[in-house]
Amino acid sequence: MGEILAGALFMYIFKEASRNAYNNDRREVNFRKNFFKYFGLNLPHADAIDDVLRVLAPSELEQLKARLVAGLIEQKIFRKFRFLGKYYLVAVDATGMASFEQRHCNHCLTKTSKTGVVTYFHYVLEAKIVTSTGLSISLASEFIENDPGRDYEKQDCEQKAFARLAVKIKKYFPRLPICILADGLYPNNSVFDICAKNDWKFIITLKDGNLKTFQTEVGLLRATASKRSICRVDKTTRTNLEYTFLNDIEYKGRYFSWVECMETIVNIKGTEISNQRFAYITNVHQNLQNVAETADSGRLRWKIENEGFNSQKNLGYALEHKFSRTSFIALQNYYHLMQIGHMINQLVERCNQVVDILKEHSKQTIVDLWKKMMAYLIIFQCEDNLQIPYQPG
Ligand SMILES: [Zn+2]
């Protein structure tokens, strides 16, 4: 089992992007020998991996992932990034995994176009620990899936999946102090309930259309709001940040705070180059000391999209690749292994040895480095007397 899972995991760590690419490398004798020399494992055929991943309960790999992340938390990897020195920032968002023209399995979500064409697809809701340095590490995943018996009208959705995801986070990390970061789909009473029940803080994006009564109240009290201005200067730009906040705004029997950040960036000549507004609802009571950290943390939410989903889609992990064309169980297992592989690589890419190489050669990139590592494993001739116990078919 160790060899099977390690094989699948290395498909992601090596950024092979498909089972076929993995098989091609595995066919090289040097590659197999080098892999055995460094890791003490045989490389199984991708079909053997697939056979196992079709029957292994996805909860097993999910648990493995949670244990690994718990280990990182114990080793204090995220400690210095905590919000207000206490709360781990956990961004929550959904992303597409794979879409199919034909029904892939009986858990597929479906979408019918105006012309009546049905597409079948899978979505996953993620909770990832995010940091200002760009780490985006999967804490828990919940698949948005249809129950085979249910009718089309009652498709599963992100909101329902969030309730299940919250249960999972609490199960695997019962005492972890968490602050949830989420987008404009999340300011609603059921999300506030879940956060209150679990004793979680939240900083949630407030869009113009969200929570009308709350926003009306904010509009009425705006003139009395407290403000704090910060100016950040670097070599080429000056960034002016104006933070505004209000506390104790009532919404359906609870009291929340409202935070707004206006950001203006000007260049050396004084010309404005960008002007943005961000607004949040939070259950963290605001004051002049914490308002900037609150709004800045709220903005880290996009790390789940950029460092999380986009990296997994476009930087070698092939998140949207159809790793299994028929099995939903296998699709989930590949997904969990991808999260573990990406987690390992994020840590490797930040270790001193790699950072030093990148610093030394200014044109060197992570992509180049991985290409060279793969070339080394394929071309470098291992000692001839190294015997690997298994010869693949
Ligand atoms: Zn399916």
pLDDT tens digits in sequence order for the chain, 393 residues long: 999 999 999 999 999 888 888 889 989 889 999 999 888 899 999 999 999 999 999 999 999 999 999 999 999 999 999 999 999 999 999 999 888 888 888 888 888 889 989 998 899 999 999 999 999 999 999 999 887 766 556 788 899 999 999 999 999 999 999 999 999 999 999 999 999 999 999 999 999 989 999 999 999 999 999 999 999 998 889 999 999 999 999 999 999 999 999 999 999 888 999 999 999 999 999 999 999 999 999 999 988 888 888 888 888 888 878 777 788 999 999 999 999 999 999 999 999 999 998 888 877 888 899 999 999 999 988 776 767 765 554
Expressed in angstroms and rounded, the spacing between residue 157 Cα and the centre of ligand 1 is 15
Cα gap 216→220, rounded to integer Å: 6
pLDDT score for 152 = 54
How does 89-116 read in b/e, with b if 16+ C-beta sit within 10 Å? Answer: bbbbbbbebbbbeeebbebbbeeeeeee
Q: What is the pTM of this model?
A: 0.92
Expressed in angstroms and rounded, the spacing between residue 155 Cα and the centre of ligand 1 is 13
How does 162-193 read in b/e, with b if 16+ C-beta sit within 10 Å? Answer: beebbebbbebbeebebbbbbbebbbeeebbe
Expressed in angstroms and rounded, the spacing between residue 136 Cα and the centre of ligand 1 is 26
Expressed in angstroms and rounded, the spacing between residue 152 Cα and the centre of ligand 1 is 14
Expressed in angstroms and rounded, the spacing between residue 306 Cα and the centre of ligand 1 is 26
Expressed in angstroms and rounded, the spacing between residue 323 Cα and the centre of ligand 1 is 12
Cα gap 164→179, rounded to integer Å: 17
Which tokens is 218 given?
């904010």
What type of residue sits at position 167? V
Expressed in angstroms and rounded, the spacing between residue 47 Cα and the centre of ligand 1 is 20
Cα gap 126→291, rounded to integer Å: 27
Ion ligand 1, residues whose Cβ is below 5 A away: 104-105, 108
Expressed in angstroms and rounded, the spacing between residue 230 Cα and the centre of ligand 1 is 49
Expressed in angstroms and rounded, the spacing between residue 52 Cα and the centre of ligand 1 is 18
Q: What is the dihedral of CA 296, 300, 306, 309, to 10 degrees?
A: -170
